[in-house]
Amino acid sequence: MSIIGDNIRALRKRENLTQQDLADIAHVTRETVNKWENGTIEGLREHNITRLRKHFGLTLDDLRSESNGLAAQIRMASIMPNTVIVYTPHSFEVLSSSHAIIDEYLSLRHPHAFAVEMDDSMDRVMPRRCHALVDPDLPARTGSIVYASIDGDSTHIHVVRRLHLGSIMAMLSAESHRKGIEDIVVERHNLRIEGTVFWYQAAKEMT
């Protein structure tokens, strides 16, 4: 068994996908996915990694790391119930203190939730450095606060903003006391909604 193989299998379980489903997304055969998971193929090619990261909003650690990869995250969740992974707001990187305790009721209602440590781009709604709790399964509508990834010409960023949807374009508006934080207007095909914010809490309850 390989580290990447473990993380690929964990990704499939997290997303409730078959090997064929993942193969279709990665543009490979089901047999290739099976070899990834069994360690017959030691590593993924860079274009496979890029495709999976972009489709699922993954970090390199999610696929490559033994200690912070998806498989380790699932094991940690089983050992530490009512916890969520905490990410930085702009890069979808796991914080060094990467788990936060949440209410059991919220954990049951939002089993795939994760948290984002907030900057001041939404501090009229959520205080700076609080944890915004995000549910990737909760539908986003105009007016929702969302965690979104945006593909630009040479950049790929993540933001927490208020969503306003048009037929072709979308606006992600900031609600900040600080001047200079601008709204973002983007074509909808360059926008991926990673999840909808459903709660926030103080950042003190870290593990």
Choose among 125, 128, 130: nearest CA to 145. 125
Q: Is 125 exposed, middle or buried (0-12, 13-18, 19+ CB in 10 A)?
A: middle
Task: Report d(CA 147, CA 149) in Å as an integer.
Answer: 7
Q: What is the structure's pLDDT at 93? A: 67
Looking at domain 3-72, does it have CATH number 2.40.50.100? no
Q: What is the structure's pLDDT at 129? A: 92
Specify the residue for token string 């089983």.
78
Q: What is the structure's pLDDT at 207? A: 46
Alpha helices in the chain (DSSP H): 3-15, 19-26, 30-38, 46-56, 60-64, 70-79, 104-109
Name 157's bridge partners.
150
pLDDT tens, N- to C-terminus, the chain (207 residues): 588 889 999 899 888 899 999 999 999 999 999 999 888 876 688 888 888 988 888 888 888 888 778 888 777 666 666 888 888 877 666 665 578 889 888 988 998 899 999 999 999 999 999 999 999 989 999 999 999 999 876 678 899 999 999 999 999 999 999 999 999 999 999 999 999 999 999 986 544
Q: What is the structure's pLDDT at 142? A: 96
Task: Report d(CA 138, CA 197) in Å as an integer.
Answer: 8
Q: What is the structure's pLDDT at 131? A: 94
Q: What value does the CA radius of gyration of the chain take, rounded to a whole number of Å?
A: 17
Specify the residue for token string 């489709």.
55
Residues of the chain with CATH 1.10.260.40: 3-72
Which string of DSSP letters, residue by residue, matches 13-72?
A: HHHT--HHHHHHHHTS-HHHHHHHHHTSS----HHHHHHHHHHHT--HHHHH-SSSSHHH
CATH level 3 topology of 81-201: Umud Fragment, subunit A (2.10.109)
Q: Which two tokens stand for residue 77?
A: 């969740």
pTM: 0.65
Residues of the chain with CATH 2.10.109.10: 81-201
Q: What is the structure's pLDDT at 74? A: 76
Q: What is the structure's pLDDT at 80? A: 61
